[in-house]
Structure formats: structure tokens, C-alpha cells
Amino acid sequence: MDLFEHQGKELFARYGLPVPTGEVAYSPDDAVAAAQRLGVPVVVKAQVHTGGRGKAGGVKLAADLDAVRSHAAGILGLDISGHIVRRLWIEQASDIAEEYYASFTLDRSARKHLGMLSAEGGVDIETVAARDPDAIARIHIDPVDGLTQPACRQWVQAARIPGAVADVVADVLVTLYGAYVDADADLVEVNPLIVTSGGDVVLLDSKVTLDANSTFRHDDYAQYEATQTRDEREQAAHSKRLQYVGLDGSVGVIANGAGLAMSTVDVVNQVGGSPANFLDIGGGANAEVMAGALEVINNDPAVRAILINIFGGITRGEEIAAGIIEATRRVDIDSPIVIRLDGTNAAEGRELLEPHLGGALMMEPTMLDAARRAVELAGAAGGQVQP
Ligand code: GDP
Ligand code: MN
């Protein structure tokens, strides 16, 4: 789950991290009222789930209330990398002396957390990495030990953070790491982490991604759920409680179990096709779930053929078959459907499907055969088949 900048800052503040004071606004009037309460100068900031807002004109300093109004009006409705601005964050302006970069994320291959820190913040960190890789200090943190004070001090030194603020920056980073772990975040990124002209260390920006699987232990995460930006397909699938990820291809994929669904996506690629999605209908899926899944896939205009790959364990073959038949009754399926049905009660399922085969519904004996057929059909129907 991606947080807006202000949600990230509000989360940081709950852990005692220093962030500027601000208010959310949805209109120029809101923005002016907020600026009156906060006191000018303020910064008017677009709240979208993407970075590079400053360069796109989504972050503006306002010295007086007239400027707040005009900047708010200018930024609302702005398209930043495909994200339309509907929400603003009005924040007391900071006087910046230094801009640093700091982040924590999980390094899966190292099986450790990874901290990155640079004294050259404020700009794109990829640019810094390309220009001078040594300007970014990395630290691997064992999740059991955590980020210790001595290790953090060394890291801060390696990043060439000036001695005058090194201790304060180290303290902030230890707290930020604690917040990252406690909040079940996959990523926290602060760019820039600033030193003000008065010598205070402040987190001026935030990019926070939370692990959606941790919502059960954070009652307040429901609020972030409501502000997620999903594409239409993902929204529809989510409302049906399906595990769905939208992709760019033309073969709609339905499978039971995340492992089989991923393998199916791989096999579609292997035989020269491109999957339109990943969709796991889960274990023990019934007719209702299968019908819902087919509806979601069918509503994707890029889909040219549908591949249903089921290996029944808890999921029973006749339930799947009934679901497919039910779905074809309920909705006009625009694409041919290729089915591979195996496992528990596969024979019963195939028997149910038999009278419906021919035409747009077909069955293949193996996963590979089914993938080949679906890819061929997607190609024949004008879908994009990669060489
Ligand atoms: P991003 O472009 O999406 O990363 O948005 P940021 O929140 O990082 O803002 C972009 C840039 O605007 C920062 O790197 C700062 O240089 C500048 N900026 C943001 N807030 C302030 C502020 O309070 N005062 C000043 N002087 N500049 C700011
Ligand atoms: Mn930034």
C-alpha cells in the first residue's frame, strides 16, 4: 500500500520524528484557510502516489495568501505521470541549508534490511548513483539485531554527513528504522532529509509503502486502503476479493493457487505469448468465484484469449466446471477460453464441461498444450504475440 506524502509524515510524527506542520486541502479555499492557520510562507504540495512532483510543478513555495490560492488552483487537476492531483498538502515552509537522502527497504537476496544514505539529497537518487556511486552509503541490517547506535554512527560517517549534525542525523535514522519495522513498511524513503538554516534536522518529504498483508495488526491501515490508486481491473478484482495483478499482454490467466498462477504466467511467456494478468482464485474456489474471475478478465479490453489452469486440491473439478458454465451464461465472454483441468474430481469436471465444448470453449490435456493454444488464439485474434 502506497501512502501519500502527508500520510507518511503523519505516520513519522507518531514515532516522534521531526516533520513540518501542515494540513490537507482539496480546494484553493481550503488551501488559503489552511495557510491562514499555519502562517505564511507555506509550501503547496501535490499529493499523488508518484515522485518527481517538484520537477512537474507540483511543489510550490507561497509567500502570501494570494500565492497560496493561485498555486493551489494551478496544482489541483495537474497530471503528474498519469496521476491527477485531487489533494494538496499545505505545509509551513522550511528554510533549507542542506539536503540529504535516506531510505530503508528490504534486500530480499541478502535477507536483510538495506539502509541507503547520502549527503547529496534533494535530487533523483538514481542520478546520484550514476554520477558518483560512492556518494551513497549502504548498510545491511540484520532484522534480529536491528540498527544499533554504533553501526548507525559509522554509516552516517560513511555517507559524509557533516560532523555538526552527525549525531542528530544518526538518532533520527535509528528512530526512522524503528518506525519502518514497527509499521510493517516495505519502504520508507526521505528525500530530502534536510538541515534547516537554524540547524534542525527535518524530514521534508516521505515515500512510504506498507505491507498490505500486515493490515490485520494495524487497525488504522483501513484509512490507507481507501486512498489506493488501482487500475480499473485491479479495483474490480479487489472488490471480488481475488488476488489479481494487471499486466500488459493479451492472454487472460486464471489459476488456483499463487504458485500455479505464477507458473502459468511463465509458461504463457515461454511459448511466446504475453499474459494480461496474474489471477489466483485461491484454494477451495467455488462456482461463484470462478464466475467473478471470468467477469473481471472479460472486462479487460486487451484480452484476446483466456487460459484457465486448474489443478484441484481442495478446489474440486466439478465446482470449477460449474463456475465456468455459470459464467458463460451470466456474461457474454468475448474471448475464446482454453481450459486445463486436473486434480481432485477432474473427471467429473470434464464430464460437466463436455457438452459445452466446441466453439469458444475448449479443453487441453496439459498446461503446456493449453498455454500454446491460448497464445495461438490470442495471436489469431489480433493480440500482440512476442516473437
Ligand atoms: P518530490 O519532487 O516529489 O520529491 O517532492 P519534494 O517534497 O521532495 O519537494 C521537491 C523539492 O521542493 C525539495 O527537494 C525541495 O528542494 C523543495 N521544497 C520542498 N519543501 C520545501 C520547503 O519547505 N522550503 C523550501 N525552500 N523548499 C522546499
Ligand atoms: Mn522528494
CA of 99 to the centre of ligand 1 (A): 10
Residue 16, pLDDT score = 98
- Yes or no: is domain 232-381 CATH 3.40.50.261? yes
**Distance (Å, whole) CA 225 – CA 211:** 11
Residue 386, pLDDT score = 42
Burial 193-224 (b: 16+ CB within 10 A, else e): bbbbeeeebbbbbbbbbbeeeebeeeeebeeb
Residue 375, pLDDT score = 97
What is the residue with the minimal CA distance to atom 24 of ligand 1? 94
- Asked if 296 and 257 count as a contact pair (C-beta separation under 8 A), the reply is no
The set of protein residues with a Cβ atom below 6 angstroms from ligand 1 is 43, 51-54, 59, 61, 93-94, 96, 122, 191-192, 204-205
Check 23, 98, 99, 101 and give the catalytic one. 101
Which ligand gives the minimal distance to the CA of 189? 2
What is the residue with the minimal CA distance to atom 9 of ligand 1? 54
CA of 57 to the centre of ligand 1 (A): 11
Which sequence spans correspond to the domains of the chain? Answer: 21-92, 96-225, 232-381
At which residue does the C-alpha cell 538514481 appear?
126
Phi–psi pair at 128, nearest 5 degrees = -60, -45
Which ligand gives the minimal distance to the CA of 83? 1
- Yes or no: is domain 21-92 CATH 3.30.1490.20? yes
For domain 96-225, which architecture applies? Answer: 2-Layer Sandwich (3.30)
| CA-based nearest residue to 355, from 345, 363, 346, 365 | 363
Residue 381, pLDDT score = 57
pTM above 0.85, yes or no: no
Residue 15 known to be catalytic: no
CA of 105 to the centre of ligand 1 (A): 22
Mean pLDDT split into 10-residue runs, the chain, 387 residues: 97 98 98 98 97 96 98 97 94 98 96 97 90 95 97 97 97 98 98 97 98 93 84 84 91 94 97 96 80 91 96 88 88 92 95 93 96 94 45
Which ligand gives the minimal distance to the CA of 43? 1
**Distance (Å, whole) CA 269 – CA 384:** 12
Q: To test the ligand 1 pocket, which listed residue (7, 12, 42, 59) has its Cβ within 8 A of the most ligand atoms?
A: 59
At which residue does the C-alpha cell 492531483 appear?
85
Burial 230-262 (b: 16+ CB within 10 A, else e): eeebbebbeeeebebebbebbbbbbbbbeebbe
What is the residue with the minimal CA distance to atom 2 of ligand 1? 54
CA of 204 to the centre of ligand 1 (A): 7
Check 98, 120, 189, 318 and give the catalytic one. 189
CA of 122 to the centre of ligand 2 (A): 6
Atom nearest to 5 CA in ligand 1: 7
What the block records as the C-alpha cell of 77 is 487537476
Residue 382, pLDDT score = 47
Residue 240, pLDDT score = 85
Mode of pairing for the β-strands spanning 361-363 and 337-343: parallel
